[in-house]
Amino acid sequence: MKNLAFYIILFGISSLLACSVPPPENNQDEQIESDTTVKGNVTYIDISDPLDVELISEGKIIFEKRCDNCHRSDSIKLIGPGWAGITNRRSPEWIMNMILNVGVMVEHDSIAHQLLDENDVKMPDQNLGVDKARAILEFMRANDLKTVGSKDEGDTKN
């Protein structure tokens, strides 16, 4: 009987908490932010300022070995979209999750699913660890500074 009382109390508290959270507004910018941060395993990335030169070099090597068959560092589309401006349009967490958790992102993230529809091919899993994905992100950040400028100067649209 004590277990039943415990579960009733737990259910009541859960119900109250669920009702106290206001629903999100139907704001496209907020929806985009939600889509860019909550999918996949990576929930927070501490990005360096200034850029990490060693990570950029490692990321460039990985890009040349694994990524440039489908992506270019400019805005021209190959099989997948060009990377220019990506760090101005997407959060670091979204980028990391797209690199590390493609299947989850395409299934649960509206932007990733839209990219799949636009490109007609799902990015293959590269079997990279977090460290290598972080190096690619740093390379992308450096590439964006070179090709499109900072987030404040560059394209902030999706």
- Just give the CATH number of 27-147: 1.10.760.10
Torsion of CA 23, 29, 33, 35, to 10 degrees: 80
Are the CB atoms for 101 and 40 separated by under 8 Å?
yes
**Domain ranges across the chain:** 27-147
Nearest to 46 by CA among 156, 141, 112: 141
Which tens digits make up the pLDDT trace of 25-40? 333 333 334 344 446 7
In the predicted model, what is the mean pLDDT of residues 108-112?
A: 94
* DSSP code of residue 65: I
Which tens digits make up the pLDDT trace of 116-143? 999 999 999 999 999 999 999 999 999 9
Question: Model's pTM, two decimal places?
Answer: 0.70
